[in-house]
Structure 1
């Protein structure tokens, strides 16, 4: 069977005040074009459909239309909630999704059996997919345990809970002749962050070892990290990455979707298909003269200016480079305050430095300087 694996759409993302909805429409239209060309049996969207838990009506319209268009290609479509999504709100769309033939799993609910989705390709290949939305640590680990455990112990407990949950959900994988699949939105120990993820949900207590995945899984489709990459694991495991760079920390990433061919007797083969519809993100550095030679009209720019700070410098850069969303003074041009302070202190006595401190604090209380002199003389005489 063939799978199109994508994740981390982050529809509704605003970059330095710039709405990117038009870019998302183009990107998702290209994903649909790829689906029409590749004819996958299954499309997996592994979380973070939205950039915020309270998406706008426009963002919701873009996501639902994209999911519907993917379903019209003839593929089964499965989408799960990520840490940026509002799981219960996604589940509130389940009646629409069910009517559209889309399998939507926003959050883990009381009936875990619905997290196992089964299907069959037109060629008669049977498959089953464990669809595991993002699970917050505070829900995976009881509150009492969180208060009683150290941070390291809580992290390990989260990983243990995830391992037990996946083991339970994957019990049907023992059935022969079925392609076993799993999708989840989480961080794997040792995987590389893309640069624009929410750090609190990427590192702090949320990294789990790849050993939590059962060996008899034919392919694991992950979301959460924005860089496309394979993960060393007991079974074929991959992040598809985001189909567009969501922040300047991701400018070196190559946005793509993954096309996976897999069978019960055939190891998963993965091809990355680049997504080229969004504007690239680029960083430019230099003096005003050097920046005047920058020719990146199709890119959003982050600019580090190598000039002495002055009023109107930002405006001059943005007039020269209209696509500059962020303009900063290059850190190398910033004054070295620590060096200045060291120079100011050089050769001055402790009494003089303490006097400067009192003046800076506005402390004019009588006797303080004299008391310092007495203490300083006492300490100095004992050395």
Structure 2
């Protein structure tokens, strides 16, 4: 049997406020092309189909179209929810969906009930695919009937114990696959994952998942191999600038009568690259060498001694997809004054002037100083009762 391991679609997520639905649909369409081109039997989605528990209508349409294309390309789908999904919403109509080749495993009660599939030939060994939904420890320990269990390791150990018991009842030669959404020790995170820490501990040891042929992990957004049979596929798109160097991909997994026969990586297209630019605003706007980044999502760090006015608008004249802006003046002082020190012995006008200086790296001009003085004088002459102050 040939499987495609994916996870963390996060359909509906934005990138620093920029809508990503078009980019997400473009990449997810590529999954259907891979299914057809590589003769994939099953697509595994290990959690976080959506970016929020109540996705927008358009996000649902994008995900539905992607799954429909995958099904039309010839593969069945097995899905478990992640920590961003609503398990109850995702699992609605699961029994009916299974008839159409969409298998949803969304509750703790059914995690030891596998999706049993054969590749198609009469001699093909059955494959039991188990879906462990994201298990919030405090909720899962009661749902699993182990109230003494504490933390991710304990509840996942109980889940795997149940799965091992079920595997033992299957016909000889049955191969086993587990989908799980968790932070496994040895994995490397990025800035775009939501923490699942409980009591300060979110990681679980990899040996929790011993005893199965392949474990399709979700949660971490970078593709990585913890063991031959234990892998993260990562997200299909980058969701933070910390992922700019990652190769977004999926795993093509083959099982045969002896177990795991091989795993190959398949890179995914990048609809829009990420770029991090550093320098004075004038340099970023005028230097020809930056032309290659004009169609990228851009994070810019300006090093001007004085904070440029209207910098983001000017950046977007050249980089329409600039989404993030920092100002770190070259040679700037790292000294940070406490509030009491900043205002001690200064007049209101001096405090206002110094505030402007601290914010943009330059004192107010004569015109700005006159405006500040006039505003402060006017405020000092107002009747507090006219402003609603009834002290």
Q: Normalising by structure 2, report the TM-score.
A: 0.78
Structure 1 residues 93 and 60, CA gap change in structure 2 (3 angstroms): farther
Cα separation, 2, equivalents of 1:268 and 1:203: 39
Match of 1:261 among 248, 254, 259: 254
Deviation at 1:253, TM superposition (A): 1.1
Correspondence list, 1:142-153, <5 A? none
Structure 2 vs 1, CA of residues 334 and 35 (structure 1 numbering), >3 Å: closer, same or farther? farther
Shift of 1:154: 4.1
Residues 67-78 of structure 1 correspond to what in structure 2 (within 5 A)?
A: 67-78=67-78
CA distance in structure 2 between the aligned counterparts of 1:171 and 1:332, rounded to whole angstroms:
62
Which 5+ residue runs of structure 1 have no aligned equivalent?
346-352, 361-383
Q: Which residue of 1 aligns with 2:205?
A: 209
Q: C-alpha distance in 2, partners of 1:138/1:281? A: 38
TM-score, normalization by structure 1 = 0.80
Aligned-residue Cα RMSD (Å) equals 3.0
Q: For 1:177, which of 162, 173, 177 is the aligned residue?
A: 173
Cα gap change, 1:2/1:53 in structure 2, threshold over 3 Å: closer, same or farther? same
Q: How far apart are residue 305 of structure 1 and its match? A: 0.9
Q: 1:41 deviation in Å?
A: 1.6
CA distance in 1, matches of 2:226, 2:329: 35
Aligned residue for 1:52, secondary structure, equals: coil
In the alignment, which residue of structure 2 is the partner of 1:298? 295
Give the match's secondary structure for 1:162.
helix
Instruction: Name the SS for the 2:177 alignment partner.
Output: strand
**1:173 Cα deviation from its structure 2 partner:** 2.6
- Cα distance between partner residues in 2 of 1:2 and 1:168: 25
Alpha-carbon contact 2:132-2:159 (below 8 Å) kept: no
Give the secondary-structure state (helix, strand or coil) at the position aligned to 1:245.
coil
The 8 Å contact of residues 46 and 81 in structure 1, kept in 2 or not, is answered as yes
SS in 2 for 1:53: coil
CA contact (8 A) 2:111 2:131 kept: no
1: CA distance between counterparts of 2:243 and 2:199? 17
Match of 1:159 among 150, 153, 159: 153
CA-to-aligned-CA distance 1:196-254 (integer Å, 9 cap, x gap): 10124599433111111133x1111111101100114xx71000111110122211111
SS of 1:170 mapped into structure 2: helix
Work out the number of aligned pairs and report it: 336
Partners of 2:297 and 2:321 within 8 A in 1:
yes
> How far has the Cα of 1:266 moved from its partner?
4.9
- Residue in structure 2 matched with residue 229 of structure 1 by the alignment: 224
Deviation at 1:96, TM superposition (A): 5.2
> SS of 2:67's equivalent?
helix
* Consecutive unaligned residues in structure 2, runs of 5 or more: 349-391
CA distance in 2, matches of 1:183, 1:112: 10
Q: 1:16 to 1:55 in 2, by over 3 A?
A: same
Partner of 1:2: 2
Deviation at 1:356, TM superposition (A): 3.9
